[in-house]
A and B are shown apart, each in its own frame.
Chain A
Amino acid sequence: MSPATLAAPLVLAADPLLDGAIGPGIVGIVLIKVVMAFILLLVSVMLMVWFERKLVADMHNRIGPAEAGPFGILQTLADGIKLFFKEDLIPDRADRVVFKLAPYLSLVPAFLVFSIVPIGGDFSGDGTVTWFGETTYLQVADPPVGVLFFLALSSVAVYGVMLAGWSSGSKYPLLGSVRASAQMISYEAALGLAIATVFLTSGSLSTHEIVARQVSGSWNVLATGVVPFLVFLLAGTAELNRPPFDLVEAEQELVGGFHTEYSSLRFSLFFLAEFMNVITMSAIAVTLFLGGPAGPILTDTLGWVWPVFWFSLKVFVFLFCFVWLRATLPRLRYDQLMDLGWKVLIPVALGWFLLIATMNVADDLGWPMVPVVLVGVAVLVAGAALLTGAIQKARGDALADLVDEGVED
């Protein structure tokens, strides 16, 4: 532990705020950022729950929450207070320690992911804001492995779901949690591959850097804006267990899914985590694919408000789409879910990743781009044909098995 390393924690070194000596003022700014992120997320969850209920009601031609506050906007608060005063039950056959731990394992990753999202900063410059004479990024932390941090936390979130179901000591939660964790693990692969293309295009893992590169390159619409973006959206929706991928809490089959046995405060933690995940997933999508807070700054006074506004607007579009999906689409069957993940999304994301990688190499070596792309596409088409052939053969075999064995199976 040499004293030379005592200066700045290197994890956050990219932020200019932490470059020099760290005084109480800088600690104060970091604290403000942490508290702001926390409050922002909580308030937006409150509004999101209301917004979802109201919008779904509109789409169903109902009124929705209307009593608490103007337009029922305080409904979530009322529900939250009600939940706090409910009886806190722990089932007899529950594993008490794990049962109490699980909600936090869901909630904490949901919070932490938001800390790497840049929510403001003028990206036509270097993406910073100036507060109290200090220049800083408008995000809690900018670790050099930023997006891997997001992937790591989303794999930690699986524990919350899995352990909640297991520790309840009852069969519906267990079935729900096994479904949920299988689904989350499957779709994490597609999610990761979609993000890998973003790494490849922007050449960095840091969220701040990714946004900066997108701004200078028209959001990389061609390389990441279509295929990886769509894969990310689908995989992200599945990762969130949102409709139409919400088999995890299919009421008709599983009562309430993994949190059936939870009540009161612990249930509200799961509820909170779920909606927080929706918001952070939208924020991550905006960061990776839609240029984050980038956008025109229209006025000179209070210029820092505009990036925050653009960011919120972009996130809002995603939130609307999530609600829209929920109101419109019926739930998938389990085999459809797995087929979509493993046989469509992963191959598509992988193929696109390889194509972009080939083009990068060709670019580096000065090869002519057109034949390289043509050969690449031809290889991918051949691969897709092989895969489709294999899938159809397997389907035929399975069908033949069923016919052969009749009722025996």
Chain B
Amino acid sequence: MDAAVFLISAAIVLTGAGGVLVSRNPVHAALFLVQTLFGVAVLFVLQDATFLAAVQVIVYAGAVVILFLFVIMLLGVDRAEDLGVEPIVGQRPVAAIVGASLLGMLLTALLVSVDGPTGAHGANTALGDAADNTRLLGEALFTDYVFAVELTAILLTVAVIGAVVLARRVRGPLAPLPVVVVASVADDGEQGDDGPPDVVEATDASDEGEGA
């Protein structure tokens, strides 16, 4: 049964990954990414890592990709890309090289190395049965690795404060820049616009103009 579950979820993961590459519409690509993430979550369950599987869905599918979709919809880039244009020159050969070397590394790890992947459940440590997953992870994070956890927390706090500072409207001589920027983006955008209330008129205008 393990093999069947593995094969099905591997197929889901791979078709999802292929879909991300092939689809031209960013929203479709994001959805294929969700498919891949779900497949990986099933693989985690297969390896008795149930907590990881749940967190995978909550964090990646539930938060990260949703944010992708938000950005895609709000910025109005939700239409097929023209692949003839290369925005960053020289990016494609570099991407090809990086991709090929990653593939090479994976294949080396899988085929060549002596102590390669065994496919056994929890090969490195005794993780207990699936029910103990959460408890053991929690104990490890908040005893042995508590320093790393705290550092990550500080990093996230810095990120939040940074975002607030960047988005803050400056009072006084400096004019509030963001409104102008958002309005001009909304003018360019297609159906995917929902700017803040300041730019609702611009959004409506672009929606009607587009139908013509």
Tell which of A98, A152, A185 touches B31, judged by Cβ atoms closer than 8 Å: A98
Tell which of A98, A148, A401, A404 touches B55, judged by Cβ atoms closer than 8 Å: A148
CB–CB B198/A152 < 8 A? no
Q: Name A1-50 residues within 8 Å CB distance of B.
A: 1-2, 5-6, 9-11, 13-14
Say whether B185 faces chain A, with CB atoms less than 8 Å apart. Answer: no
Is the interface on chain A under 10, 10 to 19, 20 to 34, or 35 or more residues? Answer: 35 or more
CB closest residue in chain A, given B52: A145
Distance in angstroms from A1 CB to nearest chain B CB is 4
Residues of A close to B169: CB separation below 8 A: 401
CB closest residue in chain B, given A150: B54
CB–CB B198/A409 < 8 A? yes
CB–CB B73/A178 < 8 A? yes
Tell which of B3, B53, B62, B119 touches A156, judged by Cβ atoms closer than 8 Å: B62
Distance in angstroms from B23 CB to nearest chain A CB is 10
Distance in angstroms from B199 CB to nearest chain A CB is 11
Considering the chains assembled together, what is the distance between the CA atoms of A145 and B45 in angstroms?
11
Q: Name A330-374 residues within 8 Å CB distance of B.
A: none
Considering the chains assembled together, what is the distance between the CA atoms of A101 and B34 in angstroms?
13
Fill in one digit per residue for B193-212: 1 if any A CB lies within 8 Å of its CB, else 0.
01000100001100100000
Residues of B close to A149: CB separation below 8 A: 54
CB closest residue in chain A, given B78: A166
> How many residues of B are counted as interface, with CB atoms below 8 angstroms from the partner's CB atoms?
46
Considering the chains assembled together, what is the distance between the CA atoms of A149 and B204 in angstroms?
40
CB–CB A152/B131 < 8 A? no
Considering the chains assembled together, what is the distance between the CA atoms of A174 and B50 in angstroms?
35
Tell which of B2, B45, B69, B131 touches A162, judged by Cβ atoms closer than 8 Å: B69
Summarize B's interface: helix, strand, loop or mixed.
helix
Say whether A121 faces chain B, with CB atoms less than 8 Å apart. Answer: no
Beyond A98-B31, A401-B171, A409-B198, is A174–B134 a contact (Cβ under 8 Å)?
no
CB closest residue in chain B, given A334: B197
Tell which of A6, A11, A404 touches B45, judged by Cβ atoms closer than 8 Å: A11
Say whether B24 faces chain A, with CB atoms less than 8 Å apart. Answer: no
Say whether B120 faces chain A, with CB atoms less than 8 Å apart. Answer: yes
Residues of A close to B58: CB separation below 8 A: 148, 151-152, 155
Tell which of A6, A162, A400, A404 touches B66, judged by Cβ atoms closer than 8 Å: A162
Residues of A close to B187: CB separation below 8 A: none
7 chain-A/chain-B pairs, Cβ below 8 angstroms? A1-B3, A2-B120, A9-B1, A145-B134, A162-B69, A170-B191, A185-B63
Besides A95-B25, A156-B62, 11 other A-B contacts (C-beta < 8 A): A144-B134, A145-B133, A148-B58, A151-B62, A152-B54, A155-B61, A155-B63, A170-B191, A171-B207, A181-B70, A401-B169
